[in-house]
């Protein structure tokens, strides 16, 4: 039996303070704006936070928007300035991190990212350093949402995958359920009251959330059907005709993991840096070669790559969709391009 604890709403700041004792705590913070956005930010004592679903994914915790892969410093030999020495430093910058109150789709995102970063032909040491020090406290969703479709792709409002602790809001507070040894240890040291008595309430809340979901279509055939669509240029043209080719869908996706590597500085006066930054396959520059040749010149071809990656080629390589149905690509798209509709159309009609 896993460890169950209960925290009442007033006790949350103290719990966060406990979490932040030995780790950087990333919690959802509301940014007042005309269009309200909820982002993950480092929590410090006294900082307001929210339990709302963040508008951005929690992937920053393992894959920062920008990180330094290595620094390079060149030094001229004072005796012979034509001789230059080169020093490289590749120490990963990773600190213990707790992600607080992400949603199940965010937590499943880590599982999706783990495969290419940790189980591919070569392990990514920067990702690994962060991932090993990551603890995920997930808040289950109270109900479905018009843009969410986690239950279509194998998840759900209380899906445990990728989480160390599953939290569920009940009347008066939150029930916390340890899912992994790391989560159990964290709860045991928290000093929170035992929550076994409230666990049935949590289970009821989770069940109620499932009940609000619409019926999920069968996507078993999706990988084959989407792959079969590859050469159907008209299909992709029509499905993506309103796409603006910006990067909102990829940057708001908890499972999009493509990146760019660029150098900043020549390394003579101060160390130059080789940066890894999020990149997005919607940009025409993404695949443009120095010769000018580009295998994905058109918007439709780039969106085809994105959808195919999520629903055909990633499943082919790893046996699972690389879409967790968080719906952020739909709600944040300037033209509400709906990946659900594209996949359903691909599955539905004969190619």
Partner 1 sequence: MPVLNGKELRIVGFLCNWCSYGGADTAGVARAGQPTDLRIIRVPCSGRIDPLFIVKALLNGADGVLVSGCHPRDCHYSAGNYYARRRLEVLKQFLPVLGIDDRRFEYTWVSASEGQRWQHVVTTFTDRIHKLGPAPRLEDAEPLLKIADMALTSLRPLGTGQNAALDDLKAAIKAKLPELDCVIGWQQGYDAAHTVPLFMRTPEDVDKLVWGPFNVNNPATYLPSFKGRKVGIVVKGCDSRSVVELLQENLIKREDVTIFAMPCQGTLDMARVNQELGRYSAIDSVSYDEAGVTIVADGKEHRFCMNDYAQGKCYGCTTPSAVLADTRLGTPEAVQPGAYTPPELAMLDAMTLEERLSFWKGQMERCLRCYACRNACPMCVCRDYCIAESREPQWMTQEATAREKLFFQTIHAMHLAGRCTGCGECQRACPVGIPILALRQQIARAVAQLFDGYKPGLDPEAVPPLLGYELEEKNIHEREWK
Partner 2 sequence: MVLHSQNASATGGMLREISPRPLPGGNPYQPMPATVLEVIQETGNIKTLRVVLDDAEAMKNFRYEPGQVGQLSVFGAGESTFVINSPPSCKDYLQFSVMQAGEVTAAIHRLNPGDKVGVRAPLGNYFPYEQWKGKNVFFVGGGIGMAPIRTIMLHLLENKKDYGKISLLYGARSPRDMAYSYELQGWLDNPDLDCTLCIDNPFEGWQHKVGLIPNVLTELQPSPDNTVAVLCGPPIMIKFTLQALEKLGFAPENIVTTLEKRMKCGIGICGRCNIGSHYVCVDGPVFTLAQLQELPPEL
CB atoms within 10 A of CB 122: 7
Of 18-26, 118-126, 191-199, 200-208: span binding partner 2 (CB under 8 A)? 118-126
In the range 129-158, which residues lie near partner 2 by CB under 8 A? 154-155
Q: Which is nearer to partner 2, 59 or 198 (CB)?
A: 59
Kindly state the tokens that stand for 123. Answer: 């392990």
In the range 284-303, which residues lie near partner 2 by CB under 8 A? 286-291, 293, 295-296, 301
Asked if 126 is part of the footprint of partner 2 (rule: CB under 8 A), the reply reads: yes
Residue numbers at the binding site for partner 1 (CB under 8 A): 31-37, 39, 53, 55-56, 64-66, 143-147, 212-214, 241-242, 244-248, 250-252, 260, 262, 264, 275, 277-278, 280, 283-285, 330-338, 340-341
Q: Is the distance from CB of 340 to CB of 330 less than 8 angstroms?
A: yes
**CB of residue 64 to partner 2, shortest distance in Å:** 15
Query: Applying CB under 8 A, which of residues 31, 36, 65, 88 lies at the interface with partner 2?
Result: 88
The b/e string for 225-236 (b: 16+ C-beta within 10 A; e otherwise) is: bbbebeeeeebb
Q: Which is nearer to partner 2, 13 or 271 (CB)?
A: 271
Contacts of 5 by beta carbon, 8 Å cutoff, 6+ apart: 175, 176, 178, 187, 190, 192, 193, 194, 195
Q: Which is nearer to partner 1, 51 or 224 (CB)?
A: 51
**CB of residue 7 to partner 1, shortest distance in Å:** 23
**CB of residue 44 to partner 2, shortest distance in Å:** 32
Angle, helices 125-132 vs 104-118, to 10°: value is 140
Q: Sign of dihedral through CA atoms 297, 298, 300, 306? A: positive
Kindly state the tokens that stand for 138. Answer: 């997930």
CB atoms within 10 A of CB 344: 15
Query: Applying CB under 8 A, which of residues 10, 86, 146, 215 lies at the interface with partner 2?
Result: 86
> Residues 237-276: x/- map of binding to partner 2 (CB under 8 A)?
--------------------xxxxxxx-xxx----x-x-x
Of 22-30, 94-102, 177-185, 309-317: span binding partner 2 (CB under 8 A)? 309-317
Q: Which is nearer to partner 1, 77 or 266 (CB)?
A: 266
Q: Is the distance from CB of 167 to CB of 175 less than 8 angstroms?
A: yes
Q: Which is nearer to partner 2, 46 or 78 (CB)?
A: 78
**CB of residue 101 to partner 1, shortest distance in Å:** 15
Asked if 312 is part of the footprint of partner 2 (rule: CB under 8 A), the reply reads: yes
Angle, helices 339-348 vs 299-308, to 10°: value is 80
**CB of residue 299 to partner 1, shortest distance in Å:** 8
Asked if 317 is part of the footprint of partner 2 (rule: CB under 8 A), the reply reads: yes
Long-range contacts of 226-233 (CB under 8 A, 24+ apart): 226/307, 226/308, 226/311, 226/312, 226/343, 226/346, 226/347, 227/308, 227/312, 227/313, 227/316, 228/351, 229/304, 229/346, 229/351, 230/304, 230/308, 232/351, 233/300
């Amino acid at each position: 039996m896993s460890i169950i604890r209960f925290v009442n709403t007033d006790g949350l700041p103290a719990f966060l303070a406990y979490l932040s004792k030995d780790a950087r705590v990333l919690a959802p913070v509301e940014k007042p704006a005309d269009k309200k956005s909820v982002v993950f930010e480092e929590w410090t004592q006294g900082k307001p936070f929210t339990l709302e679903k963040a508008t951005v994914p929690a992937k920053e915790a393992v894959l920062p928007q920008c990180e330094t892969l290595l620094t390079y410093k060149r030094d001229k030999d004072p005796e012979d300035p034509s001789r230059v020495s080169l020093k490289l430093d590749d120490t990963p910058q990773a600190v213990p991190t707790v992600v607080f109150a992400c949603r199940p789709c965010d937590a499943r995102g880590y599982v999706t990212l783990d495969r290419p970063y940790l189980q591919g032909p070569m392990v990514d040491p920067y990702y690994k350093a962060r991932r090993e020090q990551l603890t995920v406290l997930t808040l289950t969703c109270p109900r479905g949402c018009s843009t969410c479709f986690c239950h279509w792709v194998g998840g759900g409002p209380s899906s445990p995958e990728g989480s160390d602790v599953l939290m569920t809001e009940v009347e008066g507070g939150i029930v916390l359920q340890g899912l992994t040894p790391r989560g159990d240890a964290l709860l045991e040291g928290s000093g929170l009251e035992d929550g076994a008595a409230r666990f049935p309430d949590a289970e009821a809340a989770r069940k109620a959330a499932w009940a609000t979901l619409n019926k999920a279509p069968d996507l078993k055939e999706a990988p084959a059907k989407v792959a079969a669509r590859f050469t159907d240029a008209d299909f992709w043209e029509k499905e993506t005709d309103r796409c603006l080719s910006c990067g909102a869908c990829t940057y708001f996706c908890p499972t999009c993991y493509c990146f760019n590597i660029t150098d900043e500085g020549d390394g003579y006066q101060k160390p130059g840096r080789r940066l890894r930054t999020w990149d997005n396959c919607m940009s025409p520059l993404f695949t443009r070669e120095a010769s000018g040749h580009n295998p994905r010149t058109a918007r439709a071809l780039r969106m085809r790559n994105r959808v195919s990656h999520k629903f055909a080629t990633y499943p082919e390589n790893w046996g699972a969709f690389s879409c967790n149905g968080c719906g952020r690509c739909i709600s944040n798209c300037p033209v509400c391009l709906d990946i659900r509709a594209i996949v359903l159309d691909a599955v539905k009609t004969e190619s």
